[in-house]
Structures are given as structure tokens and as C-alpha cells.
Amino acid sequence: MRTENRIFAGGARAALAAAALAWAPAPAGAAESGALTITLTPVSEFGVLVDTASFAFTVGVGTPAFTSSPVGIEIVGNAQPVELELAGSVTPSAPWILDPDETPGTDQLRVYALFSTVARSSRPVDADFTGSAERLVTSSPKRAGARGGGGGGFEHPSLGADMDGLPVGARRRLWLRLDAPSASTTAKPRTLEITVTATRDDP
Ligand SMILES: [Ca+2]
């Protein structure tokens, strides 16, 4: 006789599948045994909350502007560890671009990002932002912390925020520095959108 049952427990958060049970009459005097294999597949939910929707900046050509207050970030869900990625986009885009390097250029908007612990209430100093193209937000998603640790990304040793392998409930502060293009061929307003994405590295 062969039976198969499929049991769902815990609603959408967990699915439990019970494998087939095999049964046959045992010969007289023989031991009876059976095997049951249960496969558990966790349903992962993970994400990130961003506590600030928008800032307004007036940037002077050739001068930097900083976030007046940091952006709060919190890891939510039931799956960890989580990796964060940052990407940016400018609307309307042309003729501006997000500068991929630290060399100023016409129509090149440079956006630096750094994460700190929530204990930090003052913005990082100018020099903390500069000196590494790794801290530039570009149109391609970039990891906030280096995979497997070791610094890099949008981390800085003086800010104390490890951004690699974040647990649920982890909170950080995001600081931005915007360097306007050295010259602009447009005077019309631009909207910069920074996207924070939670991702996972499954072992
Ligand atoms: Ca450049």
C-alpha cells in the first residue's frame, strides 16, 4: 500500500511536505520498520525599510551638498543575512549622468554614499566620502558591504557600520554627498532617485 499526503502548515510562511510512506505486511517473527522523509522548505521574506522619502537640494555648480539629516535603514522580514545594494538614476537623465569616477566633468553628477551606525548623529567629514570610487552611487547596483566582509563598498572604518551579512532588525544610517557637475549644459531641475535593495546570498 502506498499513500501520499501533502500538509501545509503555518500558512504562507512555511510549507511542509510529507513524503510517501511505504508499508507491507512483515513475515511472521520479522521486525517491522518504515521510513518517513520530511522535506521542509522555508518561505523567505526579506526587505528593507527606508524612513525618508525625499530631500530637496539646490546644488551649485562645482560645489558639494550633503544630506541635512541621515536616512534611516532597517532590515525587515524573516530571512537573514541580507545584503544591501544601492543604485541611482537621474530624471530626466540627458544630458546629465551619474559620474562613475572622481574626475569632475560637464553634466557629471557625483553621488557619494556612506553608511554609519545609528549612534552617529553628525555627517561624515568631507574626506570620509572621497578617495574611493567604491563609494559612488551609479546606475548599476553596488553592494553596501563587501561580500564575506573585509570592508569596501559604502563602508568606512571610522563610521563603525559593518554592511555585510545584515541580520533582521539591523538599523543603519545612510549619508549622501552630492557633487554638482563642474559645468552644466542645462539649468532645469533634475530628480535623483536612490534605490536601496535587499538581496540574499544563500549558502
Ligand atoms: Ca567623471
Ligand 1 centroid from CA 85, angstroms = 22
Q: Are 191 and 93 in a shared domain?
A: yes
For the chain, the domain total comes to 2
**Which of 38-42, 83-87, 162-166, 195-199 is predicted least confidently?**
38-42
- Domain enclosing residue 17, as ranges: 2-42
Same-domain status, 86 and 31: no
Give the Cα-Cα-Cα angle 198, 177, 194 (nearest 5 degrees).
Answer: 30
Per-residue pLDDT for 9 more than 50? no
Q: Are 65 and 115 in the same domain?
A: yes
How many C-beta atoms lie closer than 10 Å to residue 67's C-beta? 17
Same domain for 51 and 38: no
Going from the Cα of 30 to the center of ligand 1, the distance in angstroms, rounded, reads 80
> Do residues 150 and 130 share a domain?
yes
pLDDT 10s digits, 45-94: 888 898 877 777 777 777 788 877 889 999 999 888 888 999 999 988 88
User: 149: CA distance to ligand 1 center in Å?
Assistant: 28
Are 68 and 140 within one domain?
yes
- What is the Cβ-side half-sphere exposure of residue 16, based on CA atoms within 13 angstroms? 8
- Does residue 86 contact residue 144 with C-beta atoms inside 8 Å? yes
- From ligand 1's centre to the CA of 133, what distance in Å? 10
**What is the value of pTM for the model shown?**
0.76
Distance 184 CA to ligand 1 centre (A): 13
Task: Kindly give the distance from the C-alpha atom of residue 141 to the centroid of ligand 1, in angstroms, as a whole number.
Answer: 18
* CATH number for 169: 2.60.40
pLDDT in tens, 14-36: 222 333 333 445 566 667 888 88
Average model confidence (pLDDT) for the chain? Answer: 80
Residue % of the chain over a pLDDT of 70: 81
Kindly indicate the confidence band of residue 148, based on its pLDDT and cuts at 50, 70 and 90.
low
Asked whether residue 38 falls in the same domain as residue 97, the answer is no
